[in-house]
Amino acid sequence: MNKEFHINKRSELISKLPDKSFAIINSGVILNMTLDNEYPFEVDRNFYYFTGIAFHDMSLVIIKNGDAQKSVLSIPRIDPNKEKWVGKFYTPEECMAISGVESVIFNDELDAFIYSLVNSHNFSVAYMYMDAVEGAKPQNKNNLEYSRFKTKYPSIKTEDLYMLTYPMRSVKTPEEIDAIRESAEITKLALHEMMKNVKPSLKEYEAQACFEYVVKRKGAKIAFNTIAASGANATVLHYISNNDTLKDGDLLLVDCGASLNWYNADVTRTIPVNGIFSERQLELYKIVLGANKHIISCIKPGVSCAQLNEWTKEYYYRALKSIGLISSEDEVEKYYYHGVSHHLGLDVHDVGLKNEPLAPGMVITVEPGLYIEEYGIGIRIEDDVLVTAKGCEVLTDVLKEPEEIEEFMDIWEVK
C-alpha cells in the first residue's frame, strides 16, 4: 500500500468519528517466549491499516475537534546501543514519509499529550479497541491500554473503535484485492511445487517445508501455521504437529497460505499421497468438491456467511444420505463441524460478521470439509473468493479437480 492509501483510511475514519473525540490505536509489543528468546513481532493489523508501519511500541492518535483534525504518531526514541542488537528504529521523518501523519512525538511524551487532550475539556469521548479476552488468554496491549486509560481518566466516555473500523476493513479497496491476489498466486505456485514432491515415505513436515520454501523464495511470509495432515490426522481441524509419515493409500490435507505485505491467502487442498484416489476417497472428495462449487455459485451481495453454512449442511445432507453414510440431517455435524466461510484480508480470519450481508469488495473463504474418523479420511477444499456486484470471483487458481490432480502428480512421477 502506498502512503495515500493510509491517509485516505484515516480520513475515512475521521469522517465516522463524532466531533470532539479522539481515537488511540496501538501497534503492539514484542512478547517474551522464554528467557531471552522472543516471539516474532506481529503488528496490530488495525495500526498497520491506518499507518503502513509494522513496528512495535507505537501508538496512533487520531483527533477530531471541529476543523482541528489530525493524526499524531507516538514512536520509541532511537537507542543507538539497542540498534546494534535488534536493528534500526524508525526516525520521525521516516514515519511521516511512510504514513503521511502530520505529527510525530516520542513515547515518553505520549502520556502528557493524552493528558492535555482530556483536560482541555474539548473532548467528550475516546475510542479504543476493547478486545475481548476469553478463558485464560493473557491480556493484550489493547486490553491493558484500555484498562490503564479508564483508571487514569474515569470521567471521559470510552467507545469500542472496532465498531467503526470493521466495516472499513471488511470491504477491500482495489489495492487490497490486488495484494490478496498476489498472495494467492504465490500460494498456488508453492502448492503446485509441493504436489510435485509428495510421495509415500516422506514426512508431513517435508511437504510443509516444500510449500514454505517456495513462499519464502518469493519474498512472502507464511500466513499461519501450515497444516500438513495425512490419513486420520486430517480429521483434526487444526492439526499442526506435521510429524507423521505419508503412507501409500492415504490422503494428505494441506491448509496453508502466503502473506505478502501483510495481506493473506488461505487455501486448502487434499491430494492422494500415491497420486491416485481410491474409490472411497474419490466418492467423498467429489462430494466436498461439489459443496465447494455449489457454495461459490451461491455467493453474491446480500447473502451472509451464516446462510452459506446452512446451505452447505443442506447440500451435505442430500449427498451423504445418497451414499448411505447418514440418514438424518442432524448427523451431518458428525462429519462436518466448522463454518464454511470466514472473511480474509490483513488477518487470515479477518474482521466481519457471520450474519452480515455480503457486499462487493468483501473477500471470504469457501472451505467445506468432511472428516470421517472411521475411514481415517479428512478432506477439505478451500478457495478465496471476492464478492462482486453480480456474484463472485475465485482468486485461488489451484488444481482441485481430481482428474487434474492425478494427471499432474503422474506427470511428475510421484506415483
Q: What is the CATH number of the domain that holds 383?
A: 3.90.230.10
Q: What is the CATH number of the domain that holds 104?
A: 3.40.350.10
pLDDT at 32: 87
The answer to whether residues 77 and 110 belong to one domain is yes
Per-residue pLDDT of 340-384, as tens digits, reads 999 999 999 999 999 999 999 999 999 999 999 999 999 999 999
The answer to whether residues 262 and 185 belong to one domain is yes
pLDDT at 139: 57
Q: Work out the mean pLDDT of the chain and round it to a whole number.
A: 94
The answer to whether residues 80 and 178 belong to one domain is no
Per-residue pLDDT of 278-329, as tens digits, reads 999 999 999 999 999 999 999 999 999 999 999 999 999 999 999 999 999 9
Per-residue pLDDT of 31-81, as tens digits, reads 888 888 889 999 999 999 999 999 999 999 999 998 889 999 999 999 999
The answer to whether residues 346 and 226 belong to one domain is yes
pLDDT at 147: 84
Please give, one letter per residue, the 3-state secondary structure of the chain.
CCHHHHHHHHHHHHHHCCCCEEEEEECCCCCEEECCEECCCCCCHHHHHHHCCCCCCCEEEEEEECCEEEEEEEECCCCHHHHHHHCCCCCHHHHHHHHCCCEEEEHHHHHHHHHHHHHCCCCCEEEECCCCCCCCCCCCHHHHHHHHHHHHCCCCEEEECHHHHHHHHHCCCHHHHHHHHHHHHHHHHHHHHHHHHCCCCCEHHHHHHHHHHHHHHCCCEECCCCEEEEHHHHHCCCCCCCCCECCCCCEEEEEECEEECCEECCEEEEEECCCCCCHHHHHHHHHHHHHHHHHHHHCCCCCCHHHHHHHHHHHHHHHHHHCCCCCCHHHHHHHCCCCCCCECCCCCCCCCCCCCCCCCCCEEEECCEEEEHHHCEEEECEEEEEECCCCEEECCCCCCCHHHHHHHHHHCCCC
Per-residue pLDDT of 107-116, as tens digits, reads 999 999 999 9
The answer to whether residues 127 and 179 belong to one domain is no
The answer to whether residues 219 and 298 belong to one domain is yes
pLDDT at 415: 41
The answer to whether residues 193 and 331 belong to one domain is yes
- Domains contained in the chain, number: 2
The answer to whether residues 214 and 142 belong to one domain is no
The answer to whether residues 247 and 364 belong to one domain is yes
pLDDT at 6 over 50: yes
pLDDT class of 131 with cuts at 50, 70, 90:
low
- Which of 118, 147, 169 finishes a domain? 169
- Which of 116, 136, 169 finishes a domain? 169
**What is the extent of the structural domain holding 206?**
171-411
- Which of 153, 169, 185 finishes a domain? 169
pLDDT at 5 over 70: yes
The answer to whether residues 150 and 241 belong to one domain is no
The answer to whether residues 189 and 112 belong to one domain is no
Average pLDDT (166-176) is 97
The answer to whether residues 77 and 218 belong to one domain is no
pLDDT at 140: 65
Per-residue pLDDT of 223-253, as tens digits, reads 999 999 999 999 999 999 999 999 999 999 9
